[in-house]
Amino acid sequence: MAHVGEVLVAYRERLLALRKDPRLEYVLIFKNHGVAAGASLEHPHSQLIATPILPELVAEELEGAVRYFRMKERCVWCDIVRQERRDGARLVLEEEGFVAVAPYASRFPYELCILPTVHRASFESLHADEVDALARLLREVIGRLARLFGDPPYNFALHTAPLRETDPEHFHWHLELMPKLTRLAGFELGTGFFINPTPPEDAARFLRQAERSPERAPA
C-alpha cells in the first residue's frame, strides 16, 4: 500500500513542479499495463508527458464541462458523484473521500472512473491525509479486475485541470481506468462510436462481488 501512495505523491509533486514552467499548458500522467495496452517495458511504471497545448480529448471534456456549468451552475462531475452514490447501481467502491464508478456511457467493458467526492479541480490539491485512502481504492479496484480476469492489460489516464487554470469551478479531476478486454475494430475506428458488450451496471455488480468471490466474470 505504501508503494502506491508514494507513486501518487510523486504524481502530485511532478505536477506542482511542471506548473512553474510557463511553456506548458497540460500534463498527462498515464500508465500502460501489459503488451495489449501498449506497455513496452516489463517492469511496473507510469509515464508523464507535458504539452504546450491542450490535448484534443481534454479540450472537448473541458468544453462540455463549461456548457454544463453554464446551464446548471454546478460541476458535472459533482453531479455524477451525487447521482452514483444515491443510485448505487454503477458504484463499485467508496473509500474515505473517493469513489470508483462504472461510467453511465462506458466505452469499454469494465471501464472505471475514480473521483474525489468533494469538488477538486486539480490533482495537485490532493492532501497528504488523503493519499492512503486513494491508494487503497486504486489498489483494490485493480486487484478486483485481476481476480476477475487474471491480471488483464489496462490503461489509466489522470485528467486534471490545465496548468494555467487556477481551480476552475467547472472541472473535477478524475482517473480513467480502461481494461483491455476487447479490441477496437473497423466500426469504432471508422466512426468514433464505441460498442461495449457489458453494461456498466453489470460490470459494477461483478466488481462489487469480486471482493468476496474469485469467479471470473464475462467480458
**Which of the residues are catalytic?**
45
Contact 147, 205 (CB under 8 A): no
Residue with cell 503488451: 35
For residues 201 and 206, give the distance between their C-alpha atoms in angstroms, rounded to a whole number: 9
Which helix (H) or strand (E) element contains residue 29? strand 26-33
> CB-hemisphere CA count at 13 Å for 43?
0
Q: Write out the three cell numbers for 185.
A: 475494430
Contact 117, 173 (CB under 8 A): no
Q: Write out the three cell numbers for 174.
A: 478524475
Q: What is the DSSP string of 74-103?
A: S-HHHHHHHHHHHH-SSEEEE-SSEEEE--
Longest dimension (CA), the chain: 50
For residues 41 and 45, give the distance between their C-alpha atoms in angstroms, rounded to a whole number: 8
